[in-house]
């Protein structure tokens, strides 16, 4: 979904330019996570209005009509770019969803759980960008061979499906091995964590868990409260619920023994969240959350130890990134 890159979101702070912001046409390298049963039009639009990239989860719209309506509605809520996520398993009608997204000019397509080779040609033909969620090098290589434009490195401790390699290690590893732009997912809820992700070489970060505790998230009050109250020790990784390893608030999945159907009513009481519950302590509007992340990013980067020396050594502002080398 295209849109103008108007000046002035993020509390008026300057843009943070990266490969992702250039590609997506946004100001800040923050993707509002597409989340099953959580991210709908209001949340995606609010993230985009803050200067990040809101992203719809197409799995939340089981019929063609409901997805078409959602895409139209999000366009009424924001003129800024909004992306969409396709779950490439046969549990969902992703082919029809892809066509609907492309008809509505969604330019950033995030793929998960399946080989992105199925969508790359169609998205590129429309001038779009494909970002593939991957949890290890094998998946990253498959995605690279498929011709994706960038990778989302989903680290251990991420909300939703995740692997077992920490974001800290996975981001630079996949960047080095594939040469593709990499976006960090898993454990980014604050500006300091965004700064850490960019320092690792990521060109952006996906924020999921922090946004469950947003006013726009379609999570029950009990789920939001559980996210606020949980500590990282309460998060367990298991494939029991969906058939793939995913992170959950332990108390919510007690008694679940086998994977649930996508349309099971039980989902509403099964609460996925990542370890960044540790940094999720208050419910706020999503725009506010993104603005806070950007503000903290600037504060943290400005006070990094040794910054003055790095500037002197390089003979230019450290913020260009060249002082690091």
Ligand X SMILES: Cc1cc2nc3c(=O)[nH]c(=O)nc-3n(C[C@H](O)[C@H](O)[C@H](O)COP(=O)(O)O)c2cc1C
By CB under 6 A, name the binding residues for ligand X: 33-36, 38, 57, 59, 85, 87, 110, 112, 133, 154, 158-160, 185-188, 206-209, 212, 272-274, 276
Q: Are 1 and 107 in contact (CB under 8 A)?
A: yes
In this complex, which beta carbon is closest to ligand X, that of residue 140 or of residue 188? 188
Please, are residues 125 and 103 in contact by the beta-carbon 8 Å criterion?
Answer: no
CB 75 within 8 A of CB 1: yes
Give me the least distance between CB of 19 and ligand X, in Å please.
18
Nearer to ligand X, 18 or 280 (CB): 280
**Beta strand pairing call for 246-249 and 235-238:** antiparallel
Rounded least distance, CB 309 to ligand X, Å: 33
Q: Whole-number minimum distance, CB 168 to ligand X, in Å?
A: 13
Task: Look up tokens 């995030």; give the residue.
Answer: 110
Half-sphere exposure of 153 (CA within 13 A, CB side): 33
Tell me whether residue 203 or residue 318 sits nearer to ligand X (CB atom).
203
Nearer to ligand X, 33 or 200 (CB): 33
Nearest residue relative to ligand X (C-beta): 208
- Label residue 258 exposed, middle or buried (CB < 10 Å: 0-12, 13-18, 19+): exposed
Residue 57 beta carbon to ligand X: minimum distance, rounded to whole angstroms? 4
Contact (CB, 8 A) for 270 and 242: no
- CB of 51 vs ligand X, minimal distance in Å: 18
> Smaller CB distance to ligand X: residue 13 or 218?
218
CB 51 within 8 A of CB 21: no
Do residues 235 and 252 lie in contact, with contact meaning Cβ atoms separated by under 8 Å? no
Smallest gap from residue 67 Cβ to ligand X (A): 14
d(CA 308, CA 176): 29
Give me the half-sphere count of Cα atoms (radius 13 Å) on the Cβ side of residue 195: 17
Return the number of the residue (93 or 323) whose C-beta is nearest ligand X: 93
């Amino acid at each position: 979904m295209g849109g103008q890159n108007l000046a002035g979101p993020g509390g008026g702070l300057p843009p943070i330019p990266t490969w992702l912001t250039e590609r997506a046409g946004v100001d800040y390298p923050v993707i509002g996570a597409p989340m099953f049963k959580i991210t709908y039009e209001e949340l995606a639009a609010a993230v985009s209005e803050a200067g990040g990239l809101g992203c719809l989860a197409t799995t939340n719209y089981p019929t063609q009509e409901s997805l078409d309506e959602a895409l139209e509605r999000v366009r009424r809520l924001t003129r800024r770019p909004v992306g969409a996520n396709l779950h490439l398993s046969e549990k969902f009608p992703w082919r029809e969803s892809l066509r609907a997204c492309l008809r509505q000019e969604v330019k950033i397509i995030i793929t998960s759980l399946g080989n992105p080779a199925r969508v790359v040609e169609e998205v590129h033909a429309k001038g779009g960008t494909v970002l593939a969620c991957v949890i290890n090098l094998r998946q990253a290589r498959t995605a690279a061979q498929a011709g994706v434009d960038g990778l989302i490195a989903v680290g251990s401790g991420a909300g939703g499906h995740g692997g077992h390699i920490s974001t800290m290690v996975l981001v630079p590893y996949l960047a080095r091995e594939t040469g593709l732009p990499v976006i960090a997912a898993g454990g980014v809820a604050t500006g300091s964590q965004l700064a850490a992700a960019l320092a690792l070489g990521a060109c952006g970060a996906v924020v999921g868990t922090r946004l469950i505790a947003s006013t726009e998230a379609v999570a029950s009050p009990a789920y939001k409260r559980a996210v606020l109250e949980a500590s990282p020790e309460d998060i367990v990784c298991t494939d029991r619920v969906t058939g793939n390893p995913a992170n959950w608030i332990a108390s919510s999945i007690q008694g679940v023994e086998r994977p649930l159907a996508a349309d099971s009513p039980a989902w509403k009481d099964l609460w996925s969240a990542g370890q960044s519950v540790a940094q999720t302590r208050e419910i706020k509007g999503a725009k506010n959350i993104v603005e806070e992340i950007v503000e903290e990013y600037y504060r943290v980067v400005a006070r990094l130890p040794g910054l003055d020396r790095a500037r002197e050594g390089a003979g230019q502002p450290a913020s260009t990134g060249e002082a690091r080398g």
